[in-house]
A and B are shown apart, each in its own frame.
Chain A
Amino acid sequence: MSDLLFTNARLIDPEANTDTLGWLHVRDGIIQSQGSDIPPSTDTIIDCRGKCLAPGIVDIGVKVCEPGERHKESYKSAGAAAAAGGVTTMVTRPDTTPTIDNPETLEFVTRRAQAEAPVNVLPMAALTKGREGSEMTEIGFLMDAGAVAFTDCDHVISNTKVFTRALTYARSCGALVMAHPQEPILSAGAAATSGKFAALRGLPAVSPMAERMGLDRDIALLEMTSARYHADQITTARALPALERAKNNGLDITAGTSIHHLTLNELDVSDYRTFFKVKPPLRSEDDRQAVIEAVRTGLIDIISSMHTPQDEESKRLPFAEAAAGAVAMETLLPAALRLYHSDQLDLPTLFRAMSLNPAKRLGLNSGRLSAGAPADLVLFDPDVPFILDRATLKSKSQNTPFDGQRMQGRVQATYVAGHEIYRRA
């Protein structure tokens, strides 16, 4: 492969904010040019037949269960799921067993990922040892070993002294810290968002205010430390004004949200369906709409799958006891396309949040269709209808909330550095 031309493609370019028919020229795995006039002549031509060609998804917050729980998800199965979902870069979480909190463990997972996964894998490491919130990890050594961000995942560091020092130290290393904004005591044990539905079902619930309290605290600490900060999931309307103020005040803050909080609400839990149990819990429809609007305006920067494999045993439990999380890499794009079909978000906006912004936040050159960017691409048909059958998922765990649901739009092929790593049969 030296020269590759995608022709007759609907190019979704989040950087230029355009959605136009044209061609894309790739040489040696690098995007050379795009256009709509006469394309250059190349050895290999891929006719996209008018389907969408977009920068591959950069998914921040993927849980691969190595080390520790390979029966739930391995680098091999996660890599296959990513490829089938159009995810060309997985940014993995450290909430494994044991925690990825030292350079030796990080090197192990990097080796495993390189050997097994066809997509780019960038590991995150824990911010505190064992994610226990008491001692910071070796941020400098972990960065040297390849950690792209530091996070205790869904563990909130409640000791503000520890968190402040970790943020301060991280800043001096230039490290990005990803936190889970949540008031930890208020939200302890919660399985649902407080409101009519949780009351009716009698579920332990947390006020959406806990998210705003957590975010307010973190923003105050950012003002103290000037650290680089990313909020993993902002899911409530009440947290948005604080986020906007922090951005206007020039803090180095970005925010993400999960595909589930964008496309599902608390009522989907219905009869205690544990595949809909995620963390934080699904919110009200008003919150969901507010979060969609925040993605549209760019206040929320990033959409992630928050891919969290759980085996049947951890889900086949009373709702309050069931494990939280859902697999989502393969359903990320079809679910996101719901927002496109409902005329709420256009395709460049979706790929700004799924590809461009996460790549930018991590300092990657990918996530765009510009010359010089790696040819990490996803080719998809935005309109084809299908009913999701979770048995067809490539993840080892199949805990998806979309099982049996009607979806519209799916991935046809995925490319990493110009190599086709997935094509739908």
Chain B
Amino acid sequence: MSFAHRHLLGIEHLSPSDITAILDLAETYVDLNRQSTKHADVLSGMTQINMFFENSTRTQASFELAGKRLGADVMNMAMQASSIKKGETLIDTAMTLNAMHPDLLVVRHPHSGAVDLLAQKVNCAVLNAGDGKHEHPTQALLDALTIRRAKGRLHRLNIAICGDVAHSRVARSNLILLGKMENRIRLVGPPTLVPSQFADFGAEIYDDMHEGLKDVDVVMMLRLQKERMDGGFIPSEREYYHRYGLDEAKLSLAKADAIVMHPGPMNRGVEIDGQLADDINRSVIQEQVEMGVAVRMAAMELLARNHRGQHD
């Protein structure tokens, strides 16, 4: 199993075999995480720093848990309340941290490309935990693992990614990953939130939810990212829910065994009906969270192997 990457900055840089390698390894961690003793000491002695320049609860917790289960020393830095407020540039922050010799750096930043910039300046492995509206690779990987386990395969599926595509790094990473694995992808939403340029990536664009969901295997809902919006992209939440919110009626157009996904946190009654989100026969939303820890453990292990290789 080869995984020749120093960092995990985006799905864009991964080959289909890289993706499969991560998912295969993650499967073993799914099993481990279901044991009462969840330790694998592959990162023992290593230092993992989580730098979040943007608020996060679930992603940060998931990375922290993943690191701890692998035996790393994990430190969380809430960068919003720190030196960045004192005027330090991103590169200076990186250089400062670099001097402390971390082995894994997990970074989330509000600006697209900021994690790439940081990765050029440090000696350790960098994992992108979301940069602006660019990529969120571990989310796409955990979504892929969830789909593979639910559907038994990760190719030749019809997958609808619905809602606020424009502001979503999750949508971009998923579009790239699922495209690499040869699935048919539809982007569904109001044209203000689904720019037509995405057609150039080979996705089919629908502004009618009913047409867009027809006969799909996977319905991936996105959160309406109000905090990233500059001005109004939709008239109101009630009209958005009426036209683009996922409910039983709209879902009935998808295949009978279609699964419902959401990266969380959900806005119930805005992009998804609350009962539907809780329906264990359709919704795999909780499973996505579980897969998140396993995928992050796998990604960190693969990067750590390469990192150790450099030092040995």
Residues of A within 8 A of B (CB): 134-141, 159, 161-162, 165, 168-169, 171-172
**How far apart are the CA atoms of A139 and B190 in the complex, in Å?**
12
- B293: shortest Cβ distance to chain A, in Å? 38
**How far apart are the CA atoms of A159 and B230 in the complex, in Å?**
13
Q: Is the CB of A141 within 8 A of B239?
A: yes
- B312: shortest Cβ distance to chain A, in Å? 54
Residues of B within 8 A of A (CB): 190-192, 207-208, 230-236, 238-239, 242-243
Chain A residues with CB under 8 Å of B242's CB are 140-141
The 5 closest A-B pairs by CB, nearest first: A172-B207, A138-B235, A138-B239, A135-B232, A172-B191
- B25: shortest Cβ distance to chain A, in Å? 42
- B46: shortest Cβ distance to chain A, in Å? 47
Contact of A136 among B208, B230, B232, B243 (CB under 8 A): B232
What 4 additional pairs, Cβ within 8 angstroms, besides A136-B234, A141-B239, A172-B207?
A134-B232, A165-B233, A169-B233, A172-B190
**How far apart are the CA atoms of A29 and B208 in the complex, in Å?**
36
Chain A residues with CB under 8 Å of B243's CB are 140
8 contacts between A and B (CB under 8 A): A135-B235, A139-B235, A161-B230, A162-B231, A162-B232, A169-B190, A169-B191, A169-B192
Q: Which of B191, B233, B235, B243 has the most CB of A within 10 A?
A: B235
- B97: shortest Cβ distance to chain A, in Å? 38
Q: Which of A137, A141, A161 has the most CB of B within 10 A?
A: A141
Chain B residues with CB under 8 Å of A141's CB are 235, 238-239, 242
Closest to B233 in A: A165
**How far apart are the CA atoms of A138 and B190 in the complex, in Å?**
13
Chain B residues with CB under 8 Å of A136's CB are 232, 234-235
Chain B residues with CB under 8 Å of A162's CB are 231-232
Chain B residues with CB under 8 Å of A161's CB are 230-231
**How far apart are the CA atoms of A134 and B235 in the complex, in Å?**
11
Q: Is the CB of A165 within 8 A of B239?
A: no
Chain A residues with CB under 8 Å of B232's CB are 134-136, 162, 165
**How far apart are the CA atoms of A139 and B207 in the complex, in Å?**
14
Q: Is the CB of B235 within 8 A of A168?
A: no
Closest to A159 in B: B231
Q: Is the CB of A140 within 8 A of B235?
A: yes
- A134: shortest Cβ distance to chain B, in Å? 8
Q: Is the CB of A165 within 8 A of B192?
A: yes
**How far apart are the CA atoms of A134 and B233 in the complex, in Å?**
11
- A143: shortest Cβ distance to chain B, in Å? 10
- B263: shortest Cβ distance to chain A, in Å? 24
Closest to A165 in B: B192
Contacts A161-B231, A162-B231, A165-B231 given: A138-B192 contact, CB under 8 Å?
no
Chain B residues with CB under 8 Å of A138's CB are 235-236, 238-239
- A275: shortest Cβ distance to chain B, in Å? 38
Contacts A165-B192, A172-B190, A172-B191 given: A140-B233 contact, CB under 8 Å?
no
**How far apart are the CA atoms of A172 and B235 in the complex, in Å?**
13
Contacts A165-B192, A169-B190, A171-B191 given: A137-B207 contact, CB under 8 Å?
no
**How far apart are the CA atoms of A169 and B243 in the complex, in Å?**
12
Chain A residues with CB under 8 Å of B231's CB are 134-135, 159, 161-162, 165
- B139: shortest Cβ distance to chain A, in Å? 27
**How far apart are the CA atoms of A168 and B231 in the complex, in Å?**
14
- B91: shortest Cβ distance to chain A, in Å? 32
Chain A residues with CB under 8 Å of B239's CB are 138-141
Closest to B189 in A: A172
Closest to A171 in B: B191
Chain A residues with CB under 8 Å of B190's CB are 168-169, 172
Chain B residues with CB under 8 Å of A172's CB are 190-191, 207-208
Q: Which of A135, A139, A165, A171 has the most CB of B within 10 A?
A: A165
Closest to A137 in B: B235
**How far apart are the CA atoms of A165 and B232 in the complex, in Å?**
8
Closest to B243 in A: A140
Chain B residues with CB under 8 Å of A137's CB are 235
Chain A residues with CB under 8 Å of B235's CB are 135-141, 169
**How far apart are the CA atoms of A172 and B231 in the complex, in Å?**
19
Chain B residues with CB under 8 Å of A159's CB are 231
**How far apart are the CA atoms of A134 and B236 in the complex, in Å?**
13
- B95: shortest Cβ distance to chain A, in Å? 38
Chain B residues with CB under 8 Å of A140's CB are 235, 239, 242-243
**How far apart are the CA atoms of A165 and B207 in the complex, in Å?**
14
Chain A residues with CB under 8 Å of B208's CB are 172
**How far apart are the CA atoms of A391 and B185 in the complex, in Å?**
66
Chain A residues with CB under 8 Å of B234's CB are 136, 169
**How far apart are the CA atoms of A161 and B207 in the complex, in Å?**
20
**How far apart are the CA atoms of A140 and B235 in the complex, in Å?**
9
